[in-house]
Structure formats: C-alpha cells, structure tokens
C-alpha cells in the first residue's frame, strides 16, 4: 500500500507540474522554483526532528508526511523518477542484516 500511495502522490505532483491549476500549493512551489522547494524540505525536516524530540507521534506522522511530500516535489523538479528511488531502496532492503557490506564506501571520491 505504501508504494501505491507514494507512487500515486508522485503522479499527482507530476501532473500539477505539467498541468498547473490555479490555487494549487504544488503549482506554487514549481512556480517559485528549486530554492523554494529546497527551503521547504529543510523546514519540514527541522519540524520533523522537533516533533521526534518532543515525543509527539501525532505531530511526527504529520511532519514526516510533509517532508515526504516536499521530497516528491523536489524529485519532480529535478526530473528524478520515483522508480529510481524505489530501486535504490529495494537494493538497500536486500542488504538488511549485512551491516559490513552496507557501510562499505569508496573513500577515494
């Protein structure tokens, strides 16, 4: 269900990007551009952290949802298909339980 929800929301975001509707907050973000979208991602991330520190799960679920929405807008703005993110997440899911392999990184880059 989560995948359908995220994919569906991403499709709505993409539709707003290509078919602007008056009064749409999503369209407003696209109109303002990348800097505004990034600012909102940062704000929502901060609000999520505060909700978590305050141990307020009702607020936390709302702030996580706000952050995910703004990240989807960012992905659309940058032309990053949700399938590419899903692929990375699936690769990471397959690595669960293999901490050493998961944390290997190239320190030369």
Instruction: Report yes or no on 41 lying in a domain.
Output: yes
Instruction: Report yes or no on 22 lying in a domain.
Output: yes
Q: Domain range holding 14?
A: 2-80
Instruction: Report yes or no on 31 lying in a domain.
Output: yes
Instruction: Report yes or no on 91 lying in a domain.
Output: no
Q: Tokens at residue 49, please? A: 């952290």
CA 66/CA 57 separation, integer angstroms:
14
Q: Tokens at residue 89, please? A: 């997440």
What global pTM score does this model have? 0.84
Residue 58 sits in a domain of what CATH number?
A: 1.10.287.1080
The domain tally of the chain equals: 1
Instruction: Report yes or no on 102 lying in a domain.
Output: no
Q: Determine the pLDDT at residue 101.
A: 57
pLDDT by position in tens, the chain (length 109): 667 999 999 999 999 999 999 999 999 999 999 999 999 999 999 999 999 999 999 999 999 999 999 999 999 999 999 999 999 999 988 886 666 555 556 666 5
Residue with tokens 């929800």: 5
Q: Determine the pLDDT at residue 42.
A: 98
Coil, helix or strand for 103?
A: coil
Instruction: Report yes or no on 97 lying in a domain.
Output: no
């Amino acid at each position: 269900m989560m995948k359908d929800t995220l994919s569906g929301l991403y499709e709505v975001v993409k539709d707003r990007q290509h078919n602007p509707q008056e009064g749409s907050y999503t369209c407003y973000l696209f109109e303002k551009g990348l800097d505004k979208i990034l600012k909102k991602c940062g704000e929502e991330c901060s609000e999520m952290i505060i909700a978590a520190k305050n141990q307020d799960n009702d607020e936390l679920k709302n702030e996580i949802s706000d952050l995910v929405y703004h990240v989807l807008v960012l992905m659309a703005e940058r032309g990053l298909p949700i399938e590419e993110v899903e692929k990375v997440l699936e690769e990471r899911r397959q690595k669960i339980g293999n901490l050493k392999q998961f944390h290997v990184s190239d320190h030369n880059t």
